[in-house]
Structure 1
């Protein structure tokens, strides 16, 4: 039985699924979920991430970690963790950048937080014994400050969808049509926000907010900070952002459950509000601004000097990372940190 058939049978028995429940099943079902069984990253997969675009991205994240460690007073021990590390490309670049500061490399203990066994196998093949693994944030060591980085993790966390209609608020759910196929339907719902215009779609991700709160609480308890990079909003807004990607093309989210990657925009305002609710501080800027302040232009020039035959390719990579019509404006970089600490690059 396929995941689509299983979900249809479940809905027939127990009723419709929220968009969040549907996302969770499509991504993490142990037998058919996309990340549990068949994550396809990279040029020949379903999507490509910034670390795969260019080594410059991961190297500058590595530089940020070194600078953040120094700004913390260069503690003798630091836990460096990446959440949702994909195929290990970014951590590989971080490790290379870390070697530029032997003191940091000696102080750092590197961890990957990964729930996908297929991706963990790819990470192990790439990184060997340079890192350690766990499946949960709270399983990383708590006896030292934590510096955590996460690229495109918030967009994978499930969100519910609500619509303001002329008759009131409804929730968009996954039900069945007259032929028994998966189809969107609506059920009455309580108001998710105080006010919104008629027709507005409001996405609410309890999982994104919970992660923001957990990272903030950890930084306040043990010291450290979290750097979150993703595409999404830096101010409250409306809109249906749920999308499915299959072989780099957008497809109907209900067509290929378990075979396509499902994402929603990162709700940075909600994540930051949750962090501030714990007593932490939060700052945000565009990816273009962050990478520029971290010296991406100079790094690109250095790579061109070292590999002049690749000047065109390096230029295209740079443009994809910082261009306004590429990743530069849509992607944001957010730092959650304790009060009284100035994160580098902001």
Structure 2
């Protein structure tokens, strides 16, 4: 903090979220797609199997998840792989990127007996060892700290946190790679997530060294857009982001256009973004829902179909959430990103 008690927004957000994930159960405040339905993990497990085949079936390969929450997504993927793609399951070395000791313990319990090899944890994506890799990151980028810049008549100002409010000061430095060429009108906010851009560059660099694909699924926008998207959730209700640091989940919408540009500039192929609804529907979500609902009591069948709608319908998670794949140059388009939709039905 400065002598006047001001703190740059990204530093405030990093400090608040570190305290939040260390001390609270985030799933009391929000539900992610894997927690909504097992179908999400099954569909992405099938996606992993097809992607692995397109990479030449490397054995071993790193199956990495960034921000694995309770471990539900990885557990569902591994269960599916063990059933329908046992060779892929046997080749997968599981690596999880998680900073919270409490969540690591929960993940270890969820994955006990699921993986063919011991699970390894890392503090940062950059710490994952080199080698053929498939990485998944669901609602990971949105929690990375952002800076907010306000367009002035002759340049940029930056927002700082002071108490429970914002103060604006002339920008002392602009982060490299930020989309400052966008036609932002005076008085409007442009958000820059330097950590996300660093992740894009690091992933692209390692995918140039060894074959792999990284899939990012998150809520956000794609295009030369701007606006204030900082938000907080506490007990599933919106809260003021600057109140009670560490007691609410702070997130911001992901700038997929900036993320894609950083990965592409660093030498990787980029596929998408596409909407989550388009990805899941193209991979067979609704066929899987009907398969699971068949023969169930009416209430259970309705709950399964409703979960599929929640994940993919445009007025629910389907349009706001986007999916983007970063891949090694020359690999086939990942399932769900080719011009023709992939089938992806699960036996």
Q: Distance in 1 between matches of 2:185 and 2:326?
A: 31
Instruction: Give the aligned partner of residue 147 of structure 1.
Output: 134
Instruction: Give the aligned partner of residue 23 of structure 1.
Output: 13
TM-score, normalised with respect to structure 1: 0.89
Instruction: Give the aligned partner of residue 342 of structure 2.
Output: none
For 1:201, which of 167, 189, 197 is the aligned residue? 189
Whether the 8 Å CA contact 2:275–2:318 is kept in 1: the answer is yes
Instruction: Give the aligned partner of residue 345 of structure 1.
Output: 336
Displacement after TM superposition at 1:166 (Å)? 4.4
Whether the 8 Å CA contact 2:290–2:305 is kept in 1: the answer is no
Q: Distance in 2 between matches of 1:308 and 1:333?
A: 33
Runs of 5+ in structure 2 lacking a partner? Answer: 338-347
SS of the counterpart of 1:326?
A: helix
Instruction: Give the aligned partner of residue 63 of structure 1.
Output: 46
Q: Distance in 2 between matches of 1:188 and 1:87?
A: 41
TM-score, normalised with respect to structure 2: 0.89
Q: Distance in 2 between matches of 1:113 and 1:136?
A: 6
Q: Distance in 2 between matches of 1:210 and 1:110?
A: 23
SS of the counterpart of 1:90?
A: helix
Q: Is the counterpart of residue 173 in structure 1 residue 160 in structure 2?
A: yes
Q: Is the counterpart of residue 293 in structure 1 residue 282 in structure 2?
A: yes
Q: Distance in 1 between matches of 2:266 and 2:151?
A: 30
Displacement after TM superposition at 1:163 (Å)? 1.1
- CA 1:174–1:95 in 2, change beyond 3 Å: closer, same or farther? same
Displacement after TM superposition at 1:206 (Å)? 0.6
SS of the counterpart of 2:294?
A: helix
Instruction: Give the aligned partner of residue 185 of structure 1.
Output: 167
Instruction: Give the aligned partner of residue 249 of structure 1.
Output: 237
Whether the 8 Å CA contact 1:39–1:118 is kept in 2: the answer is no
Q: Which runs of structure 1 show a deviation greater than 4 angstroms over 4 or more consecutive aligned residues?
A: none
CA RMSD between the two structures: 1.6
Displacement after TM superposition at 1:198 (Å)? 1.9
Q: Is the counterpart of residue 35 in structure 1 residue 25 in structure 2?
A: no
Q: In the comparison of the two structures, how many residue pairs are matched?
A: 323
Displacement after TM superposition at 1:306 (Å)? 5.1
**Residue pairs, 1:200-219, within 5 angstroms:** 200-219=188-207
Instruction: Give the aligned partner of residue 162 of structure 1.
Output: 149
Whether the 8 Å CA contact 2:45–2:76 is kept in 1: the answer is yes
Whether the 8 Å CA contact 1:243–1:262 is kept in 2: the answer is yes
Q: Distance in 2 between matches of 1:74 and 1:188?
A: 52
Instruction: Give the aligned partner of residue 107 of structure 2.
Output: 123
Displacement after TM superposition at 1:118 (Å)? 1.4
Whether the 8 Å CA contact 2:210–2:328 is kept in 1: the answer is no
Q: Distance in 2 between matches of 1:248 and 1:217?
A: 38
